[in-house]
Every structure is written in C-alpha cells, then in structure tokens.
Structure 1
Amino acid sequence: MDRIAEKIHGHDSSSSSSDSDDDKFDAVKTKIFRLFGREKPVHRVLGCGKPADVLLWRNKKISSGILSGTTIVWVLFELLEYHLVALLCHISIFSLGILFLWSNASTFINKSPPEIAEIVLPEKCVLEVASALRIEINRALAVLRDIASGRDVKKFLTVS
C-alpha cells in the first residue's frame, strides 16, 4: 500500500539515479507554476495565433485598440441609447461626404480621384435569389392567411 501511495505522489524510492530525480523535479516544478495543474500553456489552449496574442495582451496596441473600440460601441448603444440602423446610416452619409469632397478636391490638389470598384452581379444569380425570396414570402403569407381566416383553429388559438 505504501508503494502505491509513493507512486501516486511521485516519490518512487526504488529508482536512485539522479537523472530520473531531476526529470521528476522538472515535472513537479512545471506543474507548480501552471494554474490549476494544466498540462498545456494557455497560449497553446487558445490556438497559438493572433487571437491568443490579443486575449493574452501580448500585442498591447491591438489589444488596447479592440478594448477601446468595444468600449466606444458599448457607450454608444447602452449609455447613449444609440441605434444600429442610425449608426450605419450616419457612417454611410459620412463616407459619402468624404468621397464627394475627395473627388471634387482632387482637381485642385492634382491628385487622382478615388477609384471605386464597380460591382457586377450576374442577372441569373439575382433572379434566382429574388425567386427564392418570393416563394418564401408567399409561403409565410399563406400561413398567416390560414391563421387569420380561422382555417387552422389550433394555430389561431395559439397566436391569440
């Protein structure tokens, strides 16, 4: 019984070589310095990439930028009760104004106007999406009509 307890605790008295004792000491030492007895470092658990660096504050500029950005968004939405649609509209109006000023001022400062990429969507793709959307809207309206007319009494009572 003592032998089993010694093996569990890592104090095997049968091996007397100094190399094995050093290995055991290193293993015990690494377990002491790791929080909650983990075997892998936190950086490896988080994926060893940029997200792990950001979460562990290894790149302080990016981490502080993300923290300040999320704080600004939180202040806008929670404290000032700003809405997402209004924010998107204001951002698009601001960017449109900047592009307008840049394109008009480019003739005075001898710079090239901004190059805005032209997006070309194939007609077939747009028609397929519109057709699928039309079918789903018609299905939803048919269900609503059945509920409102009283044909499906169970759903009518559930909705009421």
Structure 2
Amino acid sequence: MADHSEHDEPKAEPLMEKIAEKIHGHDSSSSSDSDNEKEKEKSSSSPSSDFKSKVSRLFGREKPIHHVLGGGKQADVFLWRNKKISGTVLGVATVVWILFELLGYHLLTLICHLAILALTLLFLWSNGSSLINKSPPKIPQVHIPEEPVL
C-alpha cells in the first residue's frame, strides 16, 4: 500500500505546478508580441500618471463610483453631492425607523392615519374655499359598473 501512494505523489506535483503557473501568469506559452508591446507602454508611461489613475480608481475599478451607482440623482444622493436631498432622505429614514422600531407603530395604522388626514384636509379645503372666494378642489367622480362588482 505504501508503494501505491509513492506513485501518486510525483504525478500530483507537476499538476499542482501547472495550476500554480496558470494562476500566477508564469505560463511561457502565453507570451506574445502584443504582450511585450503592452509591457513597454506601461514602462514608458510616467509614474505620476500611474499614481493619478490609482488614486481616482480605488480597488482596481475601471469606472468611477458615480457611474457604477447609475450616474443620476440617486448617485448624487448616495454620494452626498446634493447635501439637502441626502439630509432629507436620511431624516425621513430616521423618522420611519423611530416610528416602526422604537414606538411600535404599524404600517397599516400609518396608512389609515394618512388617509384620514388627507380626507380631513380635503374636507376643510372644499368648505373653506367658499369663505375665501376660491374655487374648491376638483375631485373626480368615480363610477364603478355594477357587473364587475357582482
């Protein structure tokens, strides 16, 4: 049985060496003229340009973070480029967290209270508009056919 394990070890070493060479890029068959030209271009570039590219692109990224996040207003909010909107989003998220986690408020209760508040405001606006000679809010009338309801 010891003889059998001795025959397996020499075969395993060259295989592991080949895998290590592939991983580390020491494969002699992969070098070509284009690789040599790329290395020459890298060596001829100034060290300051390499430093600037490394500073602006951390962790080897090819695109800036702003473009990775979508490049629009949402990226501005995440990166705090528009401080007022970012602060508002943070404040609203904090209030929602306080309501739901610390005070034990429920989503359905919040929706019902907002609906009651909206109806109250519409009622006051429609009744108060005659006192200040303004036109009342135009609320569309909804007619539901009888057949789908049945």
- For the criterion TM > 0.5, the same-fold answer is yes
Give the Å deviation of 1:41: 0.6
1:21 aligns with 2:36: no
Residues 31 and 38 in structure 1, CA contact (< 8 A), matched pair in contact too: no
Q: Tell me whether 1:59 sits opposite 2:82 in the alignment.
A: yes
5+ residue gaps, structure 1, are 131-160
Greater Rg, structure 1 or structure 2?
2
Deviations 1:127-151 (A, max 9, x none): 6xx8xxxxxxxxxxxxxxxxxxxxx
Aligned residue for 1:115? 138
Q: CA separation of 1:117/1:29 partners in 2, compared to 1, >3 Å: closer, same or farther? A: same
Query: Which letter does structure 2 place at the counterpart of 1:44?
Result: H
Where in structure 2 are there 5+ consecutive unaligned residues?
Answer: 1-25
Aligned partner of 1:73 in structure 2 is 96
The number of residue pairs the alignment matches comes to: 117
Corresponding residue SS for 2:131: coil
The Cα shift of 1:114 comes to: 0.9
Deviation at residue 58 of structure 1 after TM alignment: 1.0
**Given the alignment of the two structures, is residue 93 of structure 1 paired with residue 116 of structure 2, yes or no?**
yes
1:38 alignment counterpart: 61
Contact 1:76 1:82 in 2 (8 A): yes
2:125 maps to a residue whose letter is W
Residue 147 of structure 1 aligns with which residue?
none
Alpha-carbon RMSD = 3.2
Percent identical pairs in the alignment equals 53
